[in-house]
Structure 1
Amino acid sequence: MKERIKMYVAVHLFIIKENKILLLRRYNTGYEDGNYSVPAGHVDGNETFIEAAIREAKEETGIIIKKEEILPIQVMHRKKSFEERIDYFLETLTWKEEIRNMEPHKCDKLEWFEIDKLPENTIPYIKYAIENYKKKSPFTTFGWE
């Protein structure tokens, strides 16, 4: 009998304002350092992916988002080397508190970018997810080629 896979589950938050998206530049993490991503993190045990996105937004950017202000926009089945992952992408247009870098030991820059003019050093699967967001593609795969 085949063994069932175990997958990491992560959330990625698209914070959108006036056709711009908030990106953070990873720093000192050992993964994609110097490249841009969105606020993100793993889903902890005993929390929904919406709760995880709310928690990660607060931990990384200091903002407070209500459950009803988050919209699930995409699910990605991603292959990374020999691991498989499920990534939930969510969007918010509304939040409370000022955006600020709450994790300077993991992120050296928070910046707004035009959604059509992402920096060259955007993490490839994040760039792909943003392109699919613009096309309104709710289910995608990445890394299977």
Structure 2
Amino acid sequence: MAERYQVTVDVHVILQRGDQILLCLREGTGYRDGWYCLPSGHLEEGETVVECAIREAHEEVGVVINPADLQPATVVHHLPPEGKPRVGMFFAASRWDGEVVNAEPHKCGRVDWVPADRLPDNTVPYTAAGIAAYLGGVGIDVHGWPELATR
């Protein structure tokens, strides 16, 4: 019997302050160092996507988000150049407790508030695709699948 298809689930948090969103500059990770991404991480076994979003926001930027303040933003089915598909669950929040800080300086060079509609050129393309889908009101999108791309 063939083994079922498995995919990595990534959870991204769009912290929004007016027309700005928070980005983290990757550093010392070995993947896309020098590029901006959202506070994000992989879903862990036994964890819901909501729990993961709350955990990642706290671990990476020191804020605590009430589940009621976390809204679904978009879902992106991503095919990276390496060829291992992923599903990105993007959530948005404009309310949280605590001050934003760089809580993982060993993985992050800095955190920056940037205009949501003018991301830095060095934003991870997968991250940029999720933010664009969110801003465009696209509930589900694909990224990196040339024959299926909606953009």
TM over 0.5: yes
Q: Give the equivalent residue in structure 1 for 2:94.
A: 93
Q: Does the CA contact (< 8 Å) of 2:75 and 2:130 recur in 1?
A: no
Of Structure 1 and Structure 2, the greater strand share is in 1
Give TM-score scaled by structure 2 length. Answer: 0.93
Cα distance in structure 1, aligned partners of 2:72 and 2:65: 14
Q: Give the equivalent residue in structure 2 for 1:51.
A: 51
Cα distance in structure 2, aligned partners of 1:11 and 1:59: 13
Cα distance in structure 2, aligned partners of 1:47 and 1:102: 21
Runs of 4+, deviation exceeding 2 Å: 1-4
**1:21-54 deviation per Cα after TM superposition (whole angstroms, max 9, x unaligned):** 0001000101010000000000111110000000
Q: Which amino acid aligns with 1:7?
A: V
The alignment covers a number of residue pairs equal to 145
Cα distance in structure 1, aligned partners of 2:123 and 2:66: 28
Q: Which residues in structure 2 correspond to 1:13-52 (within 5 Å)?
A: 13-52=13-52
- Would you say 1:62 and 2:59 are equivalent positions? no
**1:83-110 deviation per Cα after TM superposition (whole angstroms, max 9, x unaligned):** 1111100000000011101100000010
Q: Which residues in structure 2 correspond to 1:109-124 (within 5 Å)?
A: 109-124=110-125
| Percent identity between the two aligned chains | 39
Cα distance in structure 1, aligned partners of 2:2 and 2:135: 38
Cα distance in structure 1, aligned partners of 2:10 and 2:131: 16
Higher alpha-carbon deviation: 71-80 or 30-39: 71-80
Q: CA deviation at 1:2?
A: 4.8
Unaligned runs of 5+ in 1: none
Cα distance in structure 2, aligned partners of 1:133 and 1:10: 16
Instruction: Tell me the C-alpha RMSD between the 2 structures.
Output: 1.0
Q: Give the equivalent residue in structure 2 for 1:128.
A: 129
